[in-house]
């Protein structure tokens, strides 16, 4: 026992001398998380991060068998699902963790918005966070096409169509997005490259920035708690907060394997570019509100193409969300800013209602 421990400490010392473990440990020891009635929301970011790590792990495993071409993509996924041991499990977890991650990212963003955690000096944390959400959506959009099934094929066709509505640059941008004038095998290889190389590279940069800023600036305390002068308690990040985080992650793993076993990811019918679009083409749920809104718009608004107006409005909405830390002057000065709370509630209500309408609307309408 003695011998064992002394050997461990020898390894520790060796490493410490070369890479400096002691400062990292002291940094982790020093990190604290404030405790108050809204503390629960501090877990959302960690949950999103954990699911992102699950995505990286399962994604790397899927790469072993996946073949990115129109001829082989569907067949390779089919092979993975039926012949490869636990292939069904890996793919289903990748599928469900993706959905759960985007959901958690939304929850994280909304909680940060309502707790005004974007106030100075955390503007950059907010910016990087919004960019990470956009990247997560791009991950979802590009990944959806990869099994090359009918539903994904037509959803991608509709989804990329949006790029083409922009005046002047639309046609060119569409060609860039699709790797040609239409969704083909070229689109598939393009999306594959974006999904497994470009997005992860950009993602790691912004994720690193995001985590570094969180580490440097510490957790934000909501103004309501700060102003009410309630007892400012805190718990240590290691081990107290971390162990609680771990419980959440384990619950997520249990949920993922259960979903994978009982609701495995479907493969559907192989995409046929020449077939008629099947009824009930739907994007992933997180694009539903935009998809449905664009369907509801009239053909022309004030002489401009309705779709263009809609897309521009969503683009402006994204810019607005991005710039919230600069726009919310009251919060920045530590004053209450109910206006932005109400704007947040309105946006949330709009998204929820549009999503609900999108799923209940008559598919023929």
Near another protein by CB under 8 A, which window of 13-21, 84-92, 151-159, 339-347?
84-92
Cβ proximity to another protein: between 22 and 246 the closer is 246
The binder of another protein chosen from 69, 78, 184, 224 (CB under 8 A): 78
If the CB atoms of residues 93 and 165 are measured against another protein, the closer one turns out to be 93
∠ Cα 179 185 189 (to 5°): 70
Among 45, 87, 200, 222, binds another protein (CB under 8 A): 87
Q: Find, among 129, 134, 136, the residue nearest to 325 by Cα.
A: 129
146 scored as a contact of another protein (CB under 8 A): no
Closest CA to 157 of 75, 275, 74: 275
Q: How far is the CB of 32 from another protein (least distance, A)?
A: 6
CB nearer to another protein: pick between 61 and 131: 61
Q: What is the C-alpha to C-alpha distance for residues 61 and 90, in angstroms, rounded to an integer?
A: 7
Q: Is 226 in the site for another protein (CB under 8 A)?
A: no
* Smallest separation (angstroms) from another protein to the CB of 240: 6
Task: State the number of binding residues for another protein (CB under 8 A).
Answer: 43
Which parts of 23-62 interact with another protein (CB under 8 A)?
32, 34-35, 39, 61
Q: Is 148 left (phi over 0), alpha (psi -120 to 50) or beta?
A: left
- How many H-runs (helices) and E-runs (strands) does the chain carry? 17, 4
State the Cα–Cα distance between residues 310 and 78, nearest whole angstrom: 38
Q: Provide the minimum distance between the beta carbon of 28 and another protein in the complex, in angstroms, as a whole number.
A: 15
Alpha-carbon distance of 162 to 293, in angstroms, equals 13
Q: What is the DSSP string of 131-199?
A: HHHHHHHHHHHHHHHTT-BHHHHHHHHHHHHGGGGSTTTHHHHHHHHHTSSS-SHHHHHHHHHIIIIIH
Alpha carbon distances (Å) from 292 to 12, 151, 347 = 57, 17, 15
Q: Is position 71 an interface residue for another protein (rule: CB under 8 A)?
A: yes
* Nearest to another protein of 97, 135 (CB atom): 97
Task: Report the residue from 254, 269, 277, 315 that binds another protein according to the rule CB under 8 A.
Answer: 254
| Least Cβ distance, residue 224 to another protein (angstroms) | 17
Q: CB atoms < 10 A from the CB of 305, how many?
A: 14
Is 248 or 306 the residue whose CB approaches another protein more closely?
Answer: 248
Nearer to another protein, 8 or 304 (CB): 8
Q: What is the pairing mode between strands 300-301 and 304-305?
A: antiparallel
CB 52 within 8 A of CB 98: no
Under rule CB under 8 A, residue 263 binds another protein? no
Q: What are the residues binding another protein (CB under 8 A)? A: 32, 34-35, 39, 61, 64, 71-72, 75-76, 78-79, 81-90, 231-236, 239-240, 243-244, 246-247, 250-251, 253-254, 257-258, 261, 264, 270
């Amino acid at each position: 026992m003695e011998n064992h421990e002394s050997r461990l400490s020898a390894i520790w010392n060796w490493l410490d001398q070369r890479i400096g473990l002691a400062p990292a440990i002291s940094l982790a020891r020093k990190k604290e998380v404030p405790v108050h009635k809204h503390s629960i929301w501090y877990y959302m970011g960690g949950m999103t991060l954990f699911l992102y790590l699950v995505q990286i792990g399962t994604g790397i495993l899927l790469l072993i068998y996946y073949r990115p071409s129109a001829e082989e993509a569907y067949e390779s996924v089919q092979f993975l699902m039926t012949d490869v041991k636990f292939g069904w499990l890996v793919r289903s977890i990748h599928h469900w963790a993706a959905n759960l991650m985007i959901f958690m990212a939304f929850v994280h963003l909304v909680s940060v918005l309502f707790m005004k955690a974007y106030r100075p000096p955390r503007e950059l944390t907010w910016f990087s966070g919004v960019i990470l959400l956009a990247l997560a959506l791009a991950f979802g959009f590009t990944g959806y096409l990869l099994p090359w099934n009918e539903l994904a094929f037509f959803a991608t066709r509709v989804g990329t169509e949006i790029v083409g509505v922009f005046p002047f640059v639309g046609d060119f941008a569409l060609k860039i997005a699709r790797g040609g004038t239409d969704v083909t095998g070229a689109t598939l290889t393009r999306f594959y490259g974006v999904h497994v190389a470009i997005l992860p590279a950009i993602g790691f940069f912004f994720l690193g920035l995001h985590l570094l800023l969180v580490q440097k600036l510490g957790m934000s305390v909501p103004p309501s708690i700060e102003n009410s002068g309630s007892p400012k308690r805190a718990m240590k990040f290691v081990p107290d907060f971390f162990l609680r985080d771990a419980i959440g992650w384990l619950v997520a793993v249990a949920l993922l394997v259960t979903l994978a076993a009982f609701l495995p990811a479907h493969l559907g019918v192989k995409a046929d570019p020449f077939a008629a679009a099947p009824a009930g083409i739907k994007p992933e749920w997180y694009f539903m509100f935009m998809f449905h809104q664009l369907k509801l718009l009239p053909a022309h608004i004030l002489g401009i193409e309705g779709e263009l107006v809609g897309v521009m409005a969503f683009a402006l909405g994204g810019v607005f969300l991005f710039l919230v830390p600069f726009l919310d002057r009251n919060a920045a000065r530590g004053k209450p800013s109910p206006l932005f709370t109400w704007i947040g509630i309105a946006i949330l209500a709009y998204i929820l209602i549009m999503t609900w309408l999108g799923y209940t609307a008559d598919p023929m309408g």
